[in-house]
A and B are shown apart, each in its own frame.
Chain A
Amino acid sequence: KQEVTQIPAALSVPEGENLVLNCSFTDSAIYNLQWFRQDPGKGLTSLLLIQSSQREQTSGRLNASLDKSSGRSTLYIAASQPGDSATYLCAVRPYTGNQFYFGTGTSLTVIP
């Protein structure tokens, strides 16, 4: 079974800092990886979807990279803002089966 790990579980940074969130997965046989944002008590908002054939995806201040062979993805957030405070989840879709496997998330706090 695919296992997805996100470290650290929580991160606090001052406003304006660039930061990196990490996601690792145990089985490199994946179709894609998706990063989500979750605000407290709310649903998941898709941020970026990276196909297995891609190395990175960018959207605004966000850049996600994928190294399938090493089982790792990173989400880079540039010039962090207090509005970026949320929990960030990654999910991988393996070749076999019909579901995504989720990490437990990194809770980010950006201090004004």
Chain B
Amino acid sequence: DADVTQTPRNRITKTGKRIMLECSQTKGHDRMYWYRQDPGLGLRLIYYSFDVKDINKGEISDGYSVSRQAQAKFSLSLESAIPNQTALYFCATSDSAMGRGGGYTFGSGTRLTVV
């Protein structure tokens, strides 16, 4: 099984619909992140969480919300999906025990299409 699992892998939804992307991890890491990837723009940070009670906005949080249900679970919601939220979404984890010297572990991504 993958260390970081994202569901669904692919999703097509209509404009205005609410949708949730889920992420779970077995790494035992305390820090979790949501990124989106767009062609030519690289990966951009949406939200991050350093523990269950900690939620922080990234550089492009508008139109998104998150929930950290447990140390191992971090979900991303689009309250009212719009076409420019069509992208590849990644969940990532890192370990605070590594301090700032730690790296990321990524999930396989969710391809979201908003029509």
Closest Cβ–Cβ distance, residue B77 to chain A (whole Å) = 20
In the complex, which of the residues A4, A42, A46, A99 contacts B108, with contact meaning CB atoms closer than 8 Å? A42
**A residues in contact with B43, CB < 8 Å:** 89, 91, 102
Closest to A50 in B: B103
Main secondary structure of the interface of A (DSSP, over half): strand
**B residues in contact with A104, CB < 8 Å:** 40-42
Q: Tell which of B56, B101, B105, B107 has the most Cβ of chain A within 10 Å.
A: B101
**B residues in contact with A4, CB < 8 Å:** 42
Closest Cβ–Cβ distance, residue B101 to chain A (whole Å) = 5
Query: Does any Cβ of B come within 8 Å of A60's Cβ?
Result: no
**B residues in contact with A102, CB < 8 Å:** 42-43
The verdict on A43 contacting B42 (CB below 8 Å), with A32-B100, A99-B58 known, is no
**B residues in contact with A79, CB < 8 Å:** none
| Chain A residues bordering chain B, tally (CB within 8 A) | 24
Interchain CA distance A31-B4 in the complex, whole Å: 24
The residues in A between 83 and 112 inclusive whose CB is less than 8 angstroms from any CB of B are 89, 91, 93, 95, 98-100, 102-105
B42 touches A36 (CB 8 A): no
Interface string of B27-67 (1 = CB under 8 A from A): 00000010000001111010010100000101100000000
Closest to A51 in B: B101
Closest to B111 in A: A41
A93 touches B109 (CB 8 A): no
Chain A residues in the interface with B (C-beta under 8 A) = 4, 31-32, 34, 36, 41-46, 49, 51, 89, 91, 93, 95, 98-100, 102-105
Chain B residues in the interface with A (C-beta under 8 A) = 4, 33, 40-43, 45, 48, 50, 56, 58-59, 88, 90, 92, 100-101, 103-109, 111
